[in-house]
Structure 1
Amino acid sequence: MAPSTVDEGMTPIVTPEQPGAVELGTGVLPGATTPESWHREYGSVFARNVTVATLTPVLPDPADATGTAVIVAPGGGFRSLSMQNEGWDVARALADRGVAAFVVKYRLRQTAPELEDFATEIREMLSGPPPAHRKDPVGSFAGLDAQITDARAAFAWVRSHATQWGLDPARVGMVGFSAGAMLTLATALAGEDAEPAFIGSVYGPMSSFDVPPDAPPLFIALAADDPLFASSGFGLVESWHAAGRPVEFHYYERGGHGFGMYPKETTSTGWFEAFISWMTMHGLLARSAARE
């Protein structure tokens, strides 16, 4: 019997295979009572109620490997994770360019067990006032302890396997989407020993931040018609630039929110090639000595 499609186009699915996924050892989300579940929406695959963080490696052909690695953080408002469009598809595209990619399935805030009730929660969230993390990303870092811990563990795990896979520990970066972009910024600015070598924020918060003098190079992509973040100015760009740190900003006329790896008839689809060009400019796609 085929699963029934519920409101918002969400269809429950069985947990898909996640080849090579490893637990990050950060424990079970405190107070969690609802088990992890998965659904399909917008032609993509989503996870929610993630209580145990994992990392899924997507490795390049050894003949093409550059030694650079990227931790990929999908978005979903910290209530779900767009594992396909903003996770696996991004990782595969990076691996095709010789970059080792690692999709982090970080722990999430608990939502309703039933998909119909979750759809209602999302409708109410979108029709209500903006969530705190959207209005004040810096102030909400304190509420992301579990997620930042997961990101730190992901960096530690990748670096601990650097020799095994010919990775350069000094060339491990992170790219995130929406809430994953916020987690990427939080990891760079408050992640202590994570110390990403470079970061990418794709349709994430644009608020000003207190940027340290050793902040990593930052790539930003945003559409001007993004309903969540396009009306909050360009403080993120300005604060990175004011700190004297490298920043590149692509502001697309159209694309909306959540374009990720979806093929669209807008120039926002070019964000990935722009990201690859930016990485190339920084020497990140040149073969590292770690590969020799």
Structure 2
Amino acid sequence: MPTLAQQHRLQRALGLLASALLLSACASAPKGSTAGVDAEPKVYSLYDVTRSADIPNGRASDDLETVRDAANPDTFLMQVTLPSMTAYLPDPANATGTAVVICPGGGYRGVSIVKEGYEIARRLNREGIAAFVLKYRDPLDATMTDKKFGPLQDVQQAIALVRENADAWNVDTDKVGVMGFSAGGHLASSAAVHYTDPVLERWPAGQLRPDFQVLVYPVISFQDDIAHKGSRSNLMGEPIDPRWQQYFSNETQVTEATPPGFLVHAGDDGSVLVENSLRYYQALKAHGVSAGMLILPTGGHGFGMRNPIDWFATMTQWLHEEGF
């Protein structure tokens, strides 16, 4: 028999799913307005260095960063060498104290910094949430001594920096979460399940644990049957080492101490199979971790905020009910 606490969490999850079904039937597309967002975003070097060799786990390299298609307004950065985060702070009169480190997607070969970064940050600001868009390094042998840990190192550094600067940024250190899209969802979930294994000596595990995780069409598993093999290969290289395949199959790394999570996925996603979200949700529930999930009927992959259903509204409802 489940405990009363487990029953309560299950009832709350079912309530969220019911709300999601209602939104599926009648919700309209989110508007692009940024009303109420006054502060200009500021870019911060993640390690306060200007050379890749000075980054822990870094190798001496030129700055290799390029833009895939300069004419496309949805900027997609490739070969990111020097990581940074862009801080979007809400109007202090509207600030809730909650903060989110955003990990855009890109298959671990780039960063979709606008559609899955800046646009999300502005919407979070409208809800009084501080947002930090992470431009994490692409895993490259040319710039890292061990590329499979470079992105995880960067997200752990970002979480710790948000907490370290909480007073200046009007952030509650107990309300710092991560949000990720596609391969950025893999990175965000890696932060959620691997915080007990810091990849930077500077930070203790307690400083690195996200308080919650929001994963949108995330890559979760590196298991052969549902893996997004491009993301897996870009992060780990070939041939695949079974030890690290298991380590980065994040559905297998969930424990009772994993932070609560909310997942969004389109059922017709032909790039990252919806089974990634389903398995992660099941793993969270199996370990008694509070979780919500919204499966959209359509949208494919990579829609960001541009889906006919306002998934963001359900997500913010979940944050409210979780106390964030």
Contact 1:53 1:107 (C-alpha < 8 Å) held by counterparts: yes
Contact 1:213 1:245 (C-alpha < 8 Å) held by counterparts: yes
Letter in 2 for 1:255: G
Contact 1:206 1:232 (C-alpha < 8 Å) held by counterparts: no
Q: 1:26 to 1:224 in 2, by over 3 A?
A: farther
Q: 2:107 matched to 1:77?
A: yes
Letter in 1 for 2:66: S
Q: 1:232 to 1:37 in 2, by over 3 A?
A: same
Instruction: Tell me how far apart the structure 2 counterparts of residues 84 and 165 of structure 1 sit (CA, whole Å).
Output: 22
Determine the structure 2 residue equivalent to 1:227.
270
Contact 1:73 1:175 (C-alpha < 8 Å) held by counterparts: yes
Q: How far apart are 1:19 and its partner, in Å?
A: 4.6
Letter in 2 for 1:248: G
Instruction: Tell me how far apart the structure 1 counterparts of residues 60 and 285 of structure 2 sit (CA, whole Å).
Output: 41
Q: How far apart are 1:55 and its partner, in Å?
A: 0.8
Q: How far apart are 1:232 and its partner, in Å?
A: 3.4
Letter in 2 for 1:257: H
Determine the structure 1 residue equivalent to 2:176.
172
Give the TM-score normalised by structure 1.
Answer: 0.74
Q: Name the SS for the 2:252 alignment partner.
A: coil
Aligned match of 2:210 in 181, 196, 213?
196
Instruction: Tell me how far apart the structure 2 counterparts of residues 152 and 49 of structure 1 sit (CA, whole Å).
Output: 20
Q: 1:51 to 1:95 in 2, by over 3 A?
A: same
| Cα root mean square deviation, aligned | 2.3
Q: How far apart are 1:32 and its partner, in Å?
A: 4.3
Q: How far apart are 1:33 and its partner, in Å?
A: 4.5
Contact 1:200 1:219 (C-alpha < 8 Å) held by counterparts: yes
Q: How far apart are 1:166 and its partner, in Å?
A: 2.1
Whose strand proportion is higher, 1 or 2?
1
Q: How far apart are 1:107 and its partner, in Å?
A: 0.3
Determine the structure 2 residue equivalent to 1:212.
255
Letter in 2 for 1:49: Q
Instruction: Tell me how far apart the structure 2 counterparts of residues 19 and 62 of structure 1 sit (CA, whole Å).
Output: 14
Matched pairs, number:
234
Q: How far apart are 1:163 and its partner, in Å?
A: 1.1
Q: How far apart are 1:211 and its partner, in Å?
A: 1.2
Pairing of 1:5-20 with structure 2 (within 5 A) = 19-20=41-42
Contact 1:19 1:56 (C-alpha < 8 Å) held by counterparts: yes
Determine the structure 1 residue equivalent to 2:18.
none
Determine the structure 1 residue equivalent to 2:64.
35
Contact 1:206 1:229 (C-alpha < 8 Å) held by counterparts: no
User: Cα deviations across residues 144-177 of structure 1 (Å, max 9, x unaligned)?
Assistant: 3111110111011111111112211111001000
Contact 2:265 2:274 (C-alpha < 8 Å) held by counterparts: no
Contact 2:180 2:187 (C-alpha < 8 Å) held by counterparts: yes
Determine the structure 2 residue equivalent to 1:250.
294
Q: 1:26 to 1:186 in 2, by over 3 A?
A: farther
Letter in 2 for 1:182: H
User: Cα deviations across residues 179-208 of structure 1 (Å, max 9, x unaligned)?
Assistant: 100000111111332100000110013543
Contact 2:41 2:89 (C-alpha < 8 Å) held by counterparts: no
Structure 1: runs of 5+ lacking an equivalent: 1-17, 112-141, 285-292
Structure 1 runs (4+) greater than 4 angstroms displaced: 31-34, 40-43
Q: 1:97 to 1:220 in 2, by over 3 A?
A: same
Q: 1:37 to 1:247 in 2, by over 3 A?
A: same
Q: How far apart are 1:44 and its partner, in Å?
A: 1.0
Letter in 1 for 2:185: A
Instruction: Tell me how far apart the structure 1 counterparts of residues 72 and 266 of structure 2 sit (CA, whole Å).
Output: 19
- Larger mean CA deviation between 176-185 and 24-33 belongs to 24-33
Contact 1:26 1:149 (C-alpha < 8 Å) held by counterparts: no
Contact 1:67 1:166 (C-alpha < 8 Å) held by counterparts: yes
Determine the structure 2 residue equivalent to 1:278.
318
Contact 2:264 2:295 (C-alpha < 8 Å) held by counterparts: yes
Identity %: 34
User: Cα deviations across residues 30-77 of structure 1 (Å, max 9, x unaligned)?
Assistant: 364562122347651111111111011000000000011000000001
Q: Name the SS for the 1:169 alignment partner.
A: coil
Contact 1:34 1:110 (C-alpha < 8 Å) held by counterparts: no
Letter in 1 for 2:194: A
Q: 2:136 matched to 1:96?
A: no
Instruction: Tell me how far apart the structure 2 counterparts of residues 57 and 243 of structure 1 sit (CA, whole Å).
Output: 33
Letter in 1 for 2:214: G
Q: 1:212 to 1:238 in 2, by over 3 A?
A: same
Q: How far apart are 1:274 and its partner, in Å?
A: 1.3
